[in-house]
Structure 1
Amino acid sequence: MEIVSHFKYLGSIVREDGKCEQDIKTRIGMARTTLRKMKTLWKNRNISTQTKIRLVKALIWPVATFGCESWTLTKMLMKKIESCEMVSYRQAMKIPWTAKLTNEEVLQRAHETRNLLTSVTSRKLRHFRHMMRRECLEKDVILGRVPRKRGRGRLKR
């Protein structure tokens, strides 16, 4: 067996130090690539803005948030996730980055609120609750238990 500092498992990058910055950056890069590939769709005037936003939520956000249950979020990474959300809204609504619009103005035009980061945190909590209900190795690791042999005698209640 070879000892490595990081490896790719089920599309996510697992590092020995537990940081997930590289994984989040690659996910955001994949989402932006998917967003750029749909450029002709965003330029189409026959599709309403609300439909375009629904397409962003259905096609772009799953690419960006795949495997987010295992992410360790820092303030810098939270800002990256929020900026990915705003970039996707701006591209879908054909607002260039040179336009002097604040993020709040863009959200008002889209009739939306910031949802991507809240969905990531809710998915993390849902996964945590799921793990706490089961008896598994992940639960032992999170709770800091060390599995050992049962002691002699009758079980104490």
Structure 2
Amino acid sequence: METVSHFKYLGSIVREDRKCEQDIKTRLGMARTILGKMKTLWKNRNISTQTKIRLVKALIWLVATYRCKSWILTKTLMKKIESCEVVSYRRAMKIPWTAKLTNEEFLQRAHETRNLLTSVTSRKQRYFGHMMRRECLEKDVILGRVPGKRGHGRPKR
């Protein structure tokens, strides 16, 4: 058996150093390609903007947030998640980036708030609470438990 630094498991990339930047970037890229493939749906004038926004939340965010419970989020990754959310809204509502609208103005016009990052963090917190209620190896790893007993007295070193 050979040792590898990363591998793909169930569509997500697992790395030896536990960094998930590559996994998050590929997930957001997958979401954007699906968003691009649905161009005919976004151009349809018979569908209301609220229905389009609901479709984005149901179809695009599902792909973008797969296995988000185990992500380690940094500030740059949080910004990427928020930008993916705004880009998906803009494409669904057919508003180009050349329209000179700030993200806040655009979200007010769409009657939406930033929800993707808050849903990711709430999923992470729910998963942590789930792990703390169980007795399993993951809980031991999170809490840093080591099996066995310590010896009595002062350590030798």
The CA distance in 2 between the partners of 1:130 and 1:8, in whole Å, is: 25
Partner of 2:102: 102
For 1:1-157, what aligned pairs fall within 5 Å after superposition?
1-148=1-148
Between the aligned partners of 1:51 and 1:7, the Cα distance in structure 2 is 38
Q: Secondary structure at the match of 1:98?
A: helix
Q: For the residues of structure 1 that align with 2:55 and 2:3, how far apart are their CA atoms?
A: 42
| 1:64-88 C-alpha deviation (Å, 9 max, x unpaired) | 0000000000000000000000000
RMSD: 1.3
Count residues in correspondence. Answer: 151
| Residue ranges of structure 1 left out of the alignment (5+ in a row) | 152-157
* CA drift at 1:149: 6.5
**In structure 2, distance between residues paired with 1:47 and 1:147:** 58
Offset of 1:105 from its aligned partner? 1.1
TM-score (norm 1): 0.93
Give, in angstroms, the shift of residue 8 of structure 1: 1.1
Q: Deviations over 1:39-85 (max 9, x none)?
A: 00000111100000000000000100000000000000000000000
Compute the displacement of 1:150 (Å).
10
> What is the TM-score with the length of structure 2 in the denominator?
0.93
Secondary structure in 1 matching 2:14: strand
Mapped to 1, the partners of 2:53 and 2:134 lie a distance apart of: 37
Runs of 4+ in 1 over 4 A off after TM superposition: none
Measure, in 1, the Cα distance between the counterparts of 2:11 and 2:138: 19
Q: CA deviation at 1:98?
A: 1.3
Identity %: 88
